[in-house]
Chain A
């Protein structure tokens, strides 16, 4: 089984993140950049599929030069190799453009299963798996909390607010996963040391047959018009307990749909 995992390098969501004032894009220069958290679950799921069914796991990343750090980290978990789409013209590319580029790369690799995180911690659009499936004309199994494979049949439990749905499709397919699906492994020292020797193929837009006009700022169909800091938190609501405190708390939680 040929598995591709989409890995995006994002600013660390645990640290302060900013948008750049000039072009409203994520400031990646000052940020500590890491593998998008949900993608680690996709990598883990790919490795488990490989352990159960054989085949190979390839990381696919679109991003600037520094994204190669995240590629090496992803490889240290165990995948066999990686493809890095790297081109200066990609700066400013929106989700549609990204899906165009990744679809072109996926057509080259021709995998049975494409795994990815259900969302990124920077843009958080959750649209890419659907766009990719549409461009490639294959099924999209999104928001999985469980994935099973029997022959060419994929079955997921699709996580919803109320519970889950069982969805099936035949390979090839795009499967996006939530962090409920598994517990990602730590890279072992052997994995870390082996990662630097694994093949990473770097592809340009020309290699993929995508023109620079279709991507980047010029090709973007969406854009961020402006941005502002979230207003400071309001003071909240104090509940003074005079025998009714518990009831008031439950009412608050119910109104806010926490319970």
Chain B
């Protein structure tokens, strides 16, 4: 048998990365091999991941808020952050979600819109993984249309009173602090809500069939009294939380590729060792056609992600570009995961292999941080000048 090459070796895409970027990628991959890959199937099965332990280890490495500067953050390039997301999600989308929510949503919101005191109070501990953050924008009745949110913020003297609820909030059940978005008289405003504040409760969402190695919760805010210092002063309007989502989406552009790559690697290895009709199924033309097509999409997705990463590092990245990346790469990743499942046949549905776990995870990834349909509409608006929503 000729030696097999990875899809990224096929086009020598590795050569587009700097030594430093490759080293960061390799370190994350090693950490996943050592700490996650062997156990994640069990976490998924039991619906419980050791999030705090993982956060501590990720913090030591510098993964949390790695693309932010100062306050204990590593200050890496956007490309390096993307590569880290790819390796995290090659292990599991839930593990990547933990890092995305901590770094791109919660930490970024504080870093971008917070006061110096808020940054000093929260960011170093969050970068180290000792404090866990979550991000409350989505509500039970308001998903793609966050502008219609029902959570309200009203003034009471110098204090704020928050009332409402948030849904599908990654890490909410174990978080120390939530970045909560609420509608005030003057518009949408952001608040740092310690989860121990009276009136705040978080409930774990059970019976998930996706992202089971990740903690997801509902936050109930019952007349929660916060001091004026809890408000993020630089966040004015819905643009602020949407800018956080763009940050996290960027990580998904890379991360989804990682999940697809892991499925691909699994399918190639399986096809080489699975004997049917007296020969490895890798020798059948239909299998090879599937593998060739998937390898193409992986490479195209990588080039797209890298293009966005380089643009981000040059300060040229727009939200529409990120929408294009998320739309394409997650859509292709879930197709690849399902196609790989067919190569593994019945074994494809077993938790002994990663492919159906990835495919199930990607169902969530397809929807969160802007559904595929919303990203199509974002691009549609850009292409036609007409907004189909709003």
A residues adjacent to B (C-beta < 8 A): 69, 72-73, 76, 186-190, 192-193, 195-196
Contacts and interface: CB of A to CB of B under 8 A. Distances in A.
A195 B76 CA distance: 13
A74 to B, nearest CB: 12
Interface string B19-31: 1100110010011
Cβ-closest 10 pairs across A and B: A189-B62, A189-B74, A188-B62, A190-B74, A192-B23, A190-B62, A189-B76, A189-B66, A186-B27, A188-B61
Interface in B34-68: 60-63, 66
Contacts of B76: 189, 193
B75 interface: yes
B126 interface: no
Contacts of A186: 27, 30-31, 60-61
B80 interface: yes
A187 B27 contact: yes
Contacts of A187: 23, 27
Given A186-B30, A190-B74, A73 B23 contact: yes
Interface in B179-215: none
B251 to A, nearest CB: 15
A72 B74 contact: no
Classify chain B's interface size.
10 to 19
Interface string B85-126: 000000000000000000000000000000000000000000
A189 B61 CA distance: 6
Contacts of B63: 189
Contacts of B60: 186, 188
Contacts of A188: 60-62, 74
Nearest to B57: A186
Interface of B: 19-20, 23-24, 27, 30-31, 60-63, 66, 74-76, 80
Contacts of A195: 20
A76 B80 CA distance: 15
18 contacts: A72-B19, A72-B23, A73-B23, A186-B27, A186-B30, A186-B61, A188-B60, A188-B74, A189-B66, A189-B80, A190-B62, A190-B74, A190-B75, A192-B20, A192-B27, A193-B20, A193-B74, A196-B20
Nearest to B81: A189
Given A76-B23, A186-B31, A193-B74, 12 more contacts: A186-B60, A186-B61, A188-B62, A189-B63, A189-B66, A189-B74, A189-B76, A189-B80, A192-B23, A192-B27, A193-B75, A195-B20
A15 to B, nearest CB: 12
A189 B24 contact: yes
A76 B24 CA distance: 10
Contacts of A73: 23
B340 to A, nearest CB: 26
A192 B24 contact: yes
Contacts of A72: 19, 23
Nearest to B63: A189
Nearest to B75: A193
A187 B27 CA distance: 7
Nearest to B84: A189
Contacts of A196: 20
B19 to A, nearest CB: 7
A192 B30 CA distance: 15
A196 B74 CA distance: 15
Contacts of A69: 19
A193 B75 CA distance: 9
A73 B27 CA distance: 11
B218 to A, nearest CB: 33
Contacts of B61: 186, 188-189
Nearest to A187: B27
A69 B23 CA distance: 10
A68 B31 CA distance: 24
Nearest to B23: A192
Nearest to A195: B20
B314 to A, nearest CB: 18
Nearest to B66: A189
A187 B60 CA distance: 10
A255 B63 CA distance: 50
Contacts of B23: 72-73, 76, 187, 192
A190 B80 CA distance: 12
Contacts of B80: 189
A69 B26 CA distance: 14
A186 B63 CA distance: 12
Contacts of B75: 190, 193
B236 to A, nearest CB: 32
Contacts of A190: 62, 74-75
Nearest to B18: A196
B62 to A, nearest CB: 3
B34 to A, nearest CB: 9
A195 B23 CA distance: 11
Contacts of B30: 186
The listed residue with most B CB atoms (<10 A of its CB), out of A187, A189, A193, is A189
B347 to A, nearest CB: 27
A73 B80 CA distance: 16
Contacts of A192: 20, 23-24, 27
Contacts of B24: 189, 192
A193 B30 CA distance: 18
A76 B76 CA distance: 14
A72 B66 CA distance: 20
A190 B66 CA distance: 9
Q: Which of A76, A187, A192, A195 has the most CB of B within 10 A?
A: A192
